[in-house]
Amino acid sequence: MESRLDYMKVRPDSLQTLLKLEGYVTKSGLDKKVRELIKIRASQINGCAFCLDMHTKDALAAGETEQRIFLLNAWREAPFYTDAERAALALTEAVTVISNGGVSSAVYQQVREHYDEGQFVDLIMAITAINSWNRMAISTGMVPGAYQPAGSKEK
């Protein structure tokens, strides 16, 4: 992929808008590992290499295991995810491809077994945020590879 433009320079307020949404998600109280799993899974579905590079690194920095990251694309078959994480991932897939039938009652019920109403909204906000980031990164041609998590020793 070739970089097309730097949206952050062209329209700095667009970045601030996305950061405000991200700030909401960060402060929501959702578990950091769950947030990173959501970001990785949505980015896999959307094919966002930039965000996959970023969020796999962030997940590792947050203590996520390589095995769980590597098998995330097959989370239904892999035994390494909790029931609550599975519910969040099912919702992530449904919201990310919302035009393929929306969020089914079964997925809604699965999520509500593990998350209250407020957390359900927070999950949707987290999924919405990463889908927005994915669309911005893909559309503007953001190139993966240079991102390093805060506090990383790599250069």
**pLDDT tens digits, one per residue of 44-94:** 999 999 999 999 999 999 999 999 999 999 999 999 999 999 999 999 999
Residue 152 resides in a domain:
no
Give 24 or 3, the one with higher predicted confidence: 24
Domain that includes residue 114, residue range: 12-140
Q: Pick the range with the lowest mean pLDDT from 109-113, 120-124, 139-143.
A: 139-143
Residue 2 resides in a domain:
no
For the chain, what is the domain count? 1
pLDDT band of 155, cuts 50, 70, 90: very low
Per-residue DSSP letter, 143: P
Residue 23 resides in a domain:
yes
At which residue do the structure tokens 């970001």 appear?
39
Summarize the confidence of residues 3-9 as an average pLDDT.
79
Closest among 78, 31, 148 to 69, alpha carbons compared: 78
Q: How far apart are CA 91 and CA 104, in angstroms?
A: 9
Residue 149 resides in a domain:
no
Give 20 or 3, the one with higher predicted confidence: 20
Residue 147 resides in a domain:
no
Residue 5 resides in a domain:
no
Decide if pLDDT at 124 tops 70: yes
Look at residue 43 in the predicted model and tell me its pLDDT.
Answer: 98
The enclosing domain of 79 has a CATH number of 1.20.1290.10
Q: Give the relative orientation of helices 117-140 and 32-46 as an angle to the nearest 10 degrees.
A: 40
Q: How far apart are CA 48 and CA 55, in angstroms?
A: 11
Residue 45 resides in a domain:
yes
Decide if pLDDT at 154 tops 60: no
At 101, the amino acid letter reads: G
pLDDT band of 152, cuts 50, 70, 90: low
Look at residue 1 in the predicted model and tell me its pLDDT.
Answer: 63
Give 146 or 134, the one with higher predicted confidence: 134
Residue 124 resides in a domain:
yes
pLDDT band of 153, cuts 50, 70, 90: low
Summarize the confidence of residues 17-26 as an average pLDDT.
96
Q: How far apart are CA 154 and CA 13, in angstroms?
A: 30
